[in-house]
Amino acid sequence: MIENQKRKVSALLSDSSKPDTTIRKRQKGDNFAESPKVVLTSAPNRRLDVFVFGTNCGGELGLGDATKKPEIPGPVLNPKLSAETVGVVQLAVGGIHSAALTHDNQILTWGVNDEWTLGRDTTVESKKTPVDATSDNGEEDDEDDDEVELNLKEATPLPVDSSHFPDGTVFTQLVATDSATFALTSKGLVYSWGTFRDNNGTTRFSPKSTIQRAPALIPDVKDVLKLVPGAQHVLALISNGTVFSWGNNEQNQLGRRMISRLHEFPWLVPGQCSLPRGIIDIGAGIYHSFAIHKTGQLYAWGSNNFGQTGIFQSAGQSDAVIPYPTPVPSLGKGSGIVSVTGGKDHSLAVNEQGQCLAWGRIDNKALGIIAKDIPTSDVIFDTYQKPRILKVPTPISGVVGKVVFAAAGTDHSFAITQDRRAYSWGFNAQHQVGHGNEEKDEVEQPTQLKNKHVSGKMLVSAAAGGQFSIVVGLHGPQTNGVH
């Protein structure tokens, strides 16, 4: 698979000299710096069924007026995102908001809009809606009815105004941080709205603005093939095999030097990471980052208090960071890593053999590995001699079949297998792991998602927010082996 990734990047590089004969003349009102010359990426074209679960107090599940529940304990099909009438082809999840790309090139957003993360005006007089007293399985709930504040303009998936973008713009990927949303175009440009928030609560989107209320072009990055988000930072894989980053850098998650003489807030301007050329994929945790080189070497940097980078010299120290991209010793050439992602204190990687590897914090149950089964030689213990950190990337044994996709929320995780089944585990206080009405605050081992909505579905991807989750499946005829 690494060879396949190399070929894809090489093809893009070799195609970069082909002229684009359809470049439109710049017109009054255009908000882009220059018209790119090539089509670099294509939008997905398979319509998806969207299943949501977890907390819904801020409308983050996008159910609008279809439910009055503050929490959904297990996956339910979102009727506001019907494959037939809406046709979602790709989806992104932030901390408390989401975005979806549709088959007809619309961007839909929903969830909390306090910092204009939705890219549209959601001002409306909110109404109090009584909580539904019926649980997802049809049984009566004995809890007293509460009231939840719903803003239906936030709780309902609605489109971002297309007039913010030049005519002919084609979107191919959306990603979301905790406080912002980003849209990648087929020609390698990036638009964004919202803001970045630092540890003190201060917000700033760019050197010139604190909050970006409407979509705006990011002027200092182009030729982008892929975006990945952390909580308050973004990485962009460039067609020449380099990586750019921007956002907050308080945990060194940007992996580059900051040149303050060029910009007042240099971390908010995209700049090149300190990596060798030849990067073929990227990944991010909440406050840490990854890159995979064409040789197979994994690089990591950023927050490392629980060894979440996979580099364990400083693991266990409260303020530990890896300041610049550094080779991960245990996941180097020959390890066959094809994708990598992270939560707050843990990370996951998928290799060519279809194993899902986990490392980092043990006690929050986000690893999917039973603590007592971990060899003591693989553990860093805290001052009370309790197992704290798994320092060896370890295959998760509870998933049946080859893993083709992994995702991580703050403290919970997902794996999708080759036969398109979804497994989840980790922190579950708001049912973000999705296993029905089980009153478990933690699910320690990977458990298959099963209920009347998702059983038998070809599930292809998962996304984990702060306290909610979304899984998506292919719509239409269900055929094993479809990718």
Per-position pLDDT tens, the chain of length 483: 445 544 444 443 333 333 232 223 333 333 434 444 689 999 999 999 999 999 999 999 999 998 878 999 999 999 999 999 999 999 999 999 999 999 999 999 999 999 999 999 999 755 555 555 444 443 334 444 455 678 999 999 999 999 999 999 999 999 999 999 999 999 999 999 999 999 999 999 999 999 999 999 999 999 999 999 999 999 999 999 999 999 999 999 999 999 776 678 999 999 999 999 999 999 999 999 999 999 999 999 999 999 999 999 888 888 899 999 999 999 988 899 999 999 999 999 999 999 999 999 999 999 999 999 999 999 999 988 999 999 999 999 989 999 999 999 999 999 999 999 999 999 999 999 999 766 678 999 999 999 999 999 999 999 999 999 999 999 976 544 433
Which of 3.40.50.720, 2.130.10.30, 3.20.20.70, 3.40.1010.10 is the CATH number of 2-11+34-49+93-130+145-427+438-449?
A: 2.130.10.30
Distance (Å, rounded) from C-alpha 249 to C-alpha 259? 13
Phi, psi dihedrals of residue 258, rounded to the nearest 5°: -105, 120
Count other Cβ atoms within 10 Å, centred on residue 207.
13
What's the pLDDT score for residue 30? 38
How far separated are the first and last CA of the chain, in Å rounded? Answer: 14
Nearest to 114 by CA among 50, 175, 206, 201: 201
Whether the CA torsion 465, 171, 63, 60 is positive or negative: it is positive
Give the helix/strand (H/E) hosting 11: helix 2-14
Domain ranges across the chain: 2-11+34-49+93-130+145-427+438-449
Quick count: other Cβ atoms within 10 Å of Cβ 272? 15
Angle at 425 between CA 419 and CA 431, to 5 degrees: 110
Amino acid at residue number 119: G
Task: Give strand pairing partners of 101.
Answer: 90, 107
Give the model's pLDDT for residue 68. 75
Distances (CA, A) of 358 to 218, 365, 419, 439: 34, 11, 21, 25
CA distance 441 to 464: 16
20 vs 401: CA distance, rounded Å = 44
Distances (CA, A) of 137 to 50, 471, 480: 19, 19, 28
Question: For position 147, what pLDDT does the model report?
Answer: 54
Structure tokens at 429: 């206080």
pLDDT, tens digit (0-9, with 9 covering 90-100), for 251-282: 999 999 997 766 789 999 999 999 999 999 99
User: Rounded to 10 degrees, what is the CA torsion of 384, 385, 387, 389?
Assistant: 80
Q: How far is CA 391 from CA 313, 333, 411, in A?
A: 10, 19, 17
Burial class of 198 by CB neighbour count within 10 A (0 to 12, 13 to 18, 19+): middle
In whole angstroms, give the CA distance from residue 188 to residue 42. Answer: 10
Q: Where are the beta strands (DSSP E) in 161-232?
A: 171-176, 180-185, 190-194, 196-197, 203-204, 212-217, 224-229
State the CB neighbour count (10 A cutoff) for residue 278.
16
Q: What pLDDT score was predicted for residue 29? A: 39
User: What's the sign of the alpha-carbon dihedral 462, 419, 184, 224?
Assistant: positive
Spatial contact of 385 and 411, defined as CB atoms under 8 Å apart: no
Tell me how far apart the alpha carbons of residues 387 and 397 are, in angstroms, rounded to a whole number. Answer: 19
pLDDT in tens, 310-359: 999 888 888 899 999 999 999 988 899 999 999 999 999 999 999 999 99
82-108 core/surface letters (b: 16 or more CB in 10 A; e: else): ebeebbbbbbbbbbbbbbbbbbebbbb
Query: Token digits for 194?
Result: 């919202």
Task: For residues 42 and 103, give the distance between their C-alpha atoms in angstroms, rounded to a whole number.
Answer: 12
- Cβ-based neighbours of 10, under 8 Å, separated by 6 or more: none
**3-class secondary-structure state, position 376:** helix
Looking at residue 125, its pLDDT comes to 58
One-letter amino acid at 299 equals Y
Contact 255, 244 (CB under 8 A): no
Three-state SS string over 35-103 comes to CCCCCCCCCCCCCEEEEEEEECCCCCCCCHHHCCCCEEEEEEECHHHCCCCCCEEEEEECCCEEEEEEC
- Cβ atoms within 10 Å, residue 398: 16
What pLDDT sits at residue 313?
81
pLDDT of residue 137: 42
